[in-house]
Amino acid sequence: MSRGIAAWGAYLPRRRLVRAAAAEALAWRAPSGARARGERAYANWDEDSITLAVEAARDALGSRDRGAIDGVTLASTTLPFADRSNAGLVADALSLRDAVRTVDATGSQRAGTGALIDALASAPGRSTLVLAADRRATRAGSAEELAYGDGAAALLVADDGLAAEYLGSHSATAELVDHFRASDAAADYVLEERWVRTVGHLGLVPPAVATLLARLGLVAGDVRHFACPLPPASLRTVAKTIGCAEAAVVEPLDERCGHAGAAQPLLLLGAALERAAAGDLIVVVGFGQGVDVLALRATGAGARPARGVAGALAAGIADRAYVRFLAQSGALEMDWGLRAERDNRTAQSAYFRRHRDVTGFVGGRCRQCGTVQYPRAGSCVNPDCRALGAQDEVPLAGLAGTVKTFTEDWLAFTPSPPLAYGNVALAGGGNVFIEFCDVEPGELAVGAAVRFVFRIKDLDRLRDTRRYFWKATPVRH
């Protein structure tokens, strides 16, 4: 019985920092930086590795039955919680069934490929959602700030309806510290790139790939898609050393969105799947204190995502506001005024009573009149019904919405002013009072179409935690 990838999805934050604009702002200290090319995706203040992963997962799953999913692994080196199930939160946001196994995978840039190999190599019969996401913190003015990006990829590993069949994998561990970040550190400490390129990339990756290909009875010339998350400066040389055709190298995303850490190999795999024909051999590499190599064969079948990597790349907006990037990424501590002092302590017992409603955005449907409503209540909101009694659960996250009222509020506290919010009518009835996100000033209008996305609702700085809810964002064509 074969195992493989049944679906994939991707998500990149909307804002793309124009590197030249950042370099220009930093030219006073590094005049040579002005040559910086391309853009990097950066998360809004209300996005973290959990929300990025949720959006990638939603892209992969589409309208697929989520009841068939047995497990979720979230791979990231930037998990918001050190001791609270991050994958569990993702599973709740996706409204997966309770009997689901959730695992957080972390510790290196190979967390994503490692989680994928584990899922692919496991016994048949289980359907596992492998998610990789990173929101990479960097210091202002660092090279990493421009090189890195934020993003997430999702892969559904299953036995049926495969887009790619798993052939095998090879892993090697090497205590080569090209960069590191202590558990409580704000940003990476990075070593000289020439050493990393020669001893790390060139020294470790080609032998690992050769080992796997030999074991599978394949040769480098068979590789149609080489998905390898190394910097462009290393990638061509590594591919040439292996013997991969130049056309087989999946275009690195560095200039389009930056390097999204543990998610990068999986994003490249998504890009490979989007261009692969039936029968194509795909090789995926993970690099970080060692090497993971996976081989897959495209089937030409399987479900294609609505957005995918190509869609995620295309959905960006160029942003030249370097100071906004610093403020959103946390590298710059802004003064948000006295209104930011409001305490946002979460009553966890109240949260647990309604966690499905809040995290999963589950509303109620009246058993008498069928009216959909949020929040679910013990009495119907329809003025012509008002029936007392329990309501059936109804998932709202996937519904289309229409702006009924809105404002852009410059007085309210938000790390991304103005705070936009209003009433949104739900397709099929119902109304929700909700925050808007990723909105440009002047973009909202009564009657505009919106969809819902999973975001951080409040940061609790006093207790170093956060809570999540859904927000409405414009549907853009």
Partner 1 sequence: MATGIRDKVAILGMGCSRFGERWEASADDLMLEAFGEAVADAGIERDQIEAGWLGVFYQEQSTSKSGLPLSMALRLPNVPVTRVENLCATGTEALRGAAYAVAAGAVDIALAMGVEKLKDTGFGGLPERTKGTFEDQWQPGFTPPGAFAQLAAAYAARHGVPIDTLRRAMAHVSCKSHANALDHPKAHLRFPITTEQVLAAPTIAYPLGVLDCCGVSDGAACAIVTTPEIARRLGKRELVTIKALQLAPSNGVEMGHASWDGSHTLTTRIAAARAYREAGIRDPRAELDLIEVHDCFSITELVLMEDLGLSDAGRAPADILDGRYDRDGAIPCQSDGGLKCFGHPVGASGLRMSYEIYSQLLGRAGSRQLRTPALGLAQNLGGIPNRNVASVAIFGLAASH
- Name the residue nearer to partner 1 (CB basis): 136 or 455: 455
Please list the residues that pair with 319 across neighbouring strands. Answer: 17
Nearest-approach distance from CB 416 to partner 1, in angstroms: 12
Nearest-approach distance from CB 321 to partner 1, in angstroms: 20
Nearest-approach distance from CB 50 to partner 1, in angstroms: 16
* Contact (Cβ atoms closer than 8 angstroms) between residue 201 and residue 238: yes
Tokens of 366: 């009246």
- Name the residue nearer to partner 1 (CB basis): 329 or 391: 391
- Name the residue nearer to partner 1 (CB basis): 282 or 381: 381
Tokens of 352: 């647990």
Please list the residues that pair with 283 across neighbouring strands. Answer: 226, 295
Q: Which residues bind partner 1 (CB under 8 A)?
A: 337-339, 341-344, 346-347, 350-351, 353-354, 357-358, 371, 373-375, 377, 381-383, 386, 404-414, 418-419, 421-423, 425-426, 429-435, 445-447, 457-458, 467, 469
Task: Tell me how crowded residue 442 is: count the other CB atoms within 10 A of its CB.
Answer: 7
- Name the residue nearer to partner 1 (CB basis): 195 or 336: 336
- Name the residue nearer to partner 1 (CB basis): 66 or 355: 355
- Name the residue nearer to partner 1 (CB basis): 142 or 402: 402
DSSP assignment, residue 415? S
Helix axes 86-93, 49-61, angle to 10 degrees: 40
Q: Residue 284: how many CA atoms within 13 Å on its side-chain side? A: 30
Q: How far apart are CA 265 and CA 285, in angstroms?
A: 6
Nearest-approach distance from CB 97 to partner 1, in angstroms: 23
Q: How far apart are CA 273 and CA 164, in angstroms?
A: 8
- Name the residue nearer to partner 1 (CB basis): 215 or 354: 354
Nearest-approach distance from CB 340 to partner 1, in angstroms: 9
Task: List all residues 6 or more positions away from 251 whose beta carbon is below 8 Å from its beta carbon.
Answer: 271
Overall size of the chain counted in residues: 477
- Name the residue nearer to partner 1 (CB basis): 5 or 362: 362
DSSP assignment, residue 148? B
Enclosing H/E stretch for 254? helix 254-257
Side chain identity at residue 270, one-letter code:
G
Nearest-approach distance from CB 325 to partner 1, in angstroms: 23
Helix axes 232-242, 202-215, angle to 10 degrees: 40
Nearest-approach distance from CB 450 to partner 1, in angstroms: 14
- Name the residue nearer to partner 1 (CB basis): 189 or 336: 336
Nearest-approach distance from CB 432 to partner 1, in angstroms: 8
Nearest-approach distance from CB 48 to partner 1, in angstroms: 17
Side chain identity at residue 162, one-letter code:
L
- Name the residue nearer to partner 1 (CB basis): 161 or 429: 429
Tokens of 28: 């006073």
Nearest-approach distance from CB 339 to partner 1, in angstroms: 6
Tokens of 255: 């200039």
CA angle 422, 427, 429 (to 5 degrees): 85
Nearest to 420 by CA among 432, 404, 405, 408: 408
Task: List all residues 6 or more positions away from 469 whose beta carbon is below 8 Å from its beta carbon.
Answer: 358, 359, 361, 435, 454, 455, 457
Nearest-approach distance from CB 341 to partner 1, in angstroms: 8
Task: List all residues 6 or more positions away from 28 whose beta carbon is below 8 Å from its beta carbon.
Answer: none
End-to-end Cα distance, the chain: 41
Kindly provide the b/e burial profile for residues 88-106, where b requires at least 16 CB atoms within 10 angstroms of the residue's own CB.
Answer: bbbbbbbbbeeebebbbbb
- Name the residue nearer to partner 1 (CB basis): 331 or 419: 419
- Name the residue nearer to partner 1 (CB basis): 180 or 336: 336
Nearest-approach distance from CB 267 to partner 1, in angstroms: 31
Nearest to 207 by CA among 320, 316, 122, 287: 287
